[in-house]
A and B are shown apart, each in its own frame.
Chain A
């Protein structure tokens, strides 16, 4: 009897204890989720604020930007800054810079993709002497900084009489993006099992035929993603563009953007933000399109092929 009661008591005590513990855990979880929510908010705001502030400023008249009040929304919204930046003739013109950037980036991507694709095939689908050494060399070449090469590249391109030309800068960019492109494509090609090709060859296709009909279509998304990434690199590149193509008619967009930074004349921030937005838009769009694949590709490049 007493033992039964004692055990019942103990049972209800345990029950109450457990309820209390659950309540605690729930509270702690709720506090925890409030904390993670707060952290998420901070990370989001910190990431987005500069981008938002750039776009916000770009739609305000410069007089308002220089006013004593902050405007978190472009209330007197205007497109004047964009019009001035695109059509104005006081600085280097926009149109040629846009055309140069587009042409150079496209040439770079087209050539680099073909070259890199062939090279990636060689290192993935064939065994040959010094293969491992070659891959290591590609990895190291990728790390050589452009800044260290500016002088000798300048002399090289000058020697070809290709300063201030589309071709000269494109050639340099092709070499710049090649190692990364080869490395990434190598990862993608490795991802397609060679057994698929083997099977197709057993069914009577030639080795090349098996590759084109079976493996190549599977690689297309990887090729597109890698190509867009190369495009972004060429579009953003600054050092070589600054040194090799300084003439207004030969400038690319980043160098054009830099002409707005004139510390002596005072900076027109509203126009500068419009110009920055124009340079950033294509990159941001492309980036959002390919990031998922490239996040993988980047680690693949870095970690595993």
Chain B
């Protein structure tokens, strides 16, 4: 593991031939440590602006959120009535509400499908990039970059247009070119079909990131090890799982966790797709549900409790991410 990660370093930092930005590959940690010193108050002074910003705009609201989740907090409270503490009533209300369980289950399953699809396709595209010659690789990379660069909202709207019931290009092509009966077919009205479209949008936007990260890792897998494996009679698939995967495992793990986190908290794509033509009640995921409960129904106490559950869920996943990152990185 540690060998793999130290070999990965050069690809991992700015590529461009900016040698100066590359970390010294085999710098013993003790050296940096010797130079870095206590410095008295200086580090704290340097940290102050960032910490104040984070405490005020992230820490404080987070605390408020926690408190609010134990309060009755509705329209009356927004207009000045004192919020009343209701203990764990909000949580009981949520945990006994089948709609919440529906939303939670939907979010988790949807995220799982998106993550698995993204990782499989991303890995395949990375392997493809590794196979291609310079010219083709550059062309494919530019295409991937375009997809990656598209703002999520624009991307969702464009896909909504492609899947449009009346004039969408997809229904056009399926009907005119393939003779299928897709004229006036609505892709968004059926929840399962809605999530199929949403998954395409999310996977389309996420595959480039995964592919580039893994490709950066693949270029670091030493040729001679692969050759040796080939001489020993390992086929392509075996070489991939026995040689390549162990080498790129750190990146693989971290990218997967990031995808889990991003897909669990998805908001923009679902919300915008609902605006284009989905049925909100049947297609809410956690993020959108919080938005609708708190700002739509002005039930901030319940919304707060759902928020706390989402935060806890993501922090739990983040702990894996942090552990993996710390393992790779002498803090």
Q: A interface vs B, CB < 8 Å?
A: 36-37, 39-40, 43-48, 50-51, 53-54, 57, 65-66, 70, 114-116, 118-119, 121-128, 131-132, 134-136, 139-141, 143-156, 171-172, 174-175, 178-179, 182, 187-188, 190-195, 197-198, 218, 221-222, 225, 235-236, 238-239, 243, 254, 257-258, 260-261, 263, 267, 269, 272-273, 276-277, 279-280, 283-284, 287-288, 291-293, 295-300, 302-305
Contacts and interface: CB of A to CB of B under 8 A. Distances in A.
A119 B47 contact: yes
Contacts, number: 352
B245 interface: no
B12 to A, nearest CB: 5
Given A143-B321, A263-B276, A295-B213, A148 B290 contact: yes
Interface in B206-240: 208-209, 212-213, 216
B150 interface: yes
Of listed A47, A150, A156, residue having the most chain B CB within 10 A: A47
A300 B13 contact: yes
B184 interface: no
A87 B172 CA distance: 32
Q: Give the interface centre of A45, A136, A197, A302 by most chain B CB atoms within 10 Å.
A: A302
Interface stretch (B3-11, B85-93, B109-117, B190-198): B3-11
B161 A43 contact: no
Contact of B54 (A156, A175, A192, A193): A175
Given A50-B147, A115-B50, A287-B145, A299 B216 contact: yes
Interface string B168-189: 0100110010000000000000
B254 A302 contact: yes
A225 B16 CA distance: 12
Given A40-B140, A151-B307, A258 B325 contact: no
A139 B325 contact: yes
A103 B51 CA distance: 24
A297 to B, nearest CB: 7
9 contacts: A40-B136, A50-B204, A115-B50, A151-B304, A172-B57, A174-B57, A179-B54, A261-B276, A303-B5
Contacts of B304: 151-152
B317 interface: yes
Contacts of B44: 122, 128
B318 A238 contact: no
Nearest to A126: B43
Interface in B130-177: 131-132, 136, 139-140, 143-155, 157-159, 161-162, 164, 166-167, 169, 172-173, 176
Contacts of A243: 291, 295
B23 interface: yes
B327 to A, nearest CB: 10
